[in-house]
């Protein structure tokens, strides 16, 4: 599964789809800082994101986020590929698919829980504010994982080129 997702993403990113003009910026890497809430528990999250814009309307990218204290301190890593629609000004609507990896932990009753991976679907919404070549993008995302829902809220700091 991981290799298929990675292969499809790399193929999409390396395909020469020249919808955008030569003056537009195509690459949008960023650093994300925020919080993830699941089951009434909110923990600090951080990560990296990258978007390649094919045109003013469409882009695709990768996201990696880490929430160290989630799942009773076991930590959660999220990796996904996304497609983005830019329907109006700097508004960005995203839909992605990937994996959530939960680390191993021992609960309050001294029971050991082995880590595991689960499929994840994400819907996201952000708006980029540009300040001299840099972008600040308040972001909200909803992750659907194994019948549960997590809400991710934060800010991405982006440098376009």
- 149 or 18, higher pLDDT: 149
- Region of residue 126 (phi > 0: left; psi between -120 and 50: alpha; otherwise: beta): beta
Does 88 map to a domain?
A: yes
The reply to whether 60 falls in a domain is: yes
The pLDDT of residue 23 is: 61
Residue 110: its pLDDT value, please? 80
- 37, part of any domain: yes
> What is the distance between the alpha carbons of residues 103 and 93, in angstroms, rounded to a whole number?
30
Is the model's pLDDT at 160 over the cut of 60? yes
pLDDT for position 108:
78
Q: Mean pLDDT lowest for which of 15-29, 33-47, 105-119, 139-153?
A: 15-29
Question: Which domain covers residue 7, as residue numbers?
Answer: 2-15+25-159
Residue 131: CATH number of its domain: 2.40.160.20
pLDDT of residue 111: 81
pLDDT higher than 90, residue 13: no
Name the average pLDDT for the chain. 87
- At residue 18, the pLDDT reads 36
Residue 20 in any domain: the answer is no
36's tokens: 């993830």
24-34 pLDDT tens trace: 899 999 999 99
Per-residue confidence band for 21, with pLDDT thresholds at 50, 70 and 90: very low
The pLDDT confidence band at residue 131, using thresholds 50, 70 and 90, is confident
Q: Distance (Å, rounded) from C-alpha 142 to C-alpha 161?
A: 28
Domains contained in the chain, number: 1
| pLDDT for res 73 | 87
Q: pLDDT tens for residues 109-119?
A: 888 878 899 99
């Amino acid at each position: 599964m991981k290799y298929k997702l990675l292969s499809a993403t790399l193929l999409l990113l390396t395909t020469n789809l020249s919808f955008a003009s030569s003056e537009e910026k195509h690459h949008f890497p960023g650093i994300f800082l925020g919080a993830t809430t699941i089951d009434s528990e909110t923990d600090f999250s951080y990560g990296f994101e990258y978007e390649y814009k094919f045109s003013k309307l469409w882009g695709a990218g990768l996201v990696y986020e880490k929430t160290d204290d989630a799942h009773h301190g076991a930590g959660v890593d999220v990796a996904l590929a996304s497609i983005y629609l830019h329907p109006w000004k700097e508004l960005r609507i995203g839909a992605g698919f990937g994996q959530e990896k939960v680390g191993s932990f021992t609960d309050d009753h001294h029971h050991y829980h082995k880590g595991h991976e689960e499929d994840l679907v994400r819907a996201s919404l952000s708006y980029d504010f540009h300040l001299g070549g840099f972008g600040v993008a308040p972001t909200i995302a909803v992750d659907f994982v194994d019948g549960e829902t997590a809400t991710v809220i934060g800010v991405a700091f982006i440098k376009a080129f």
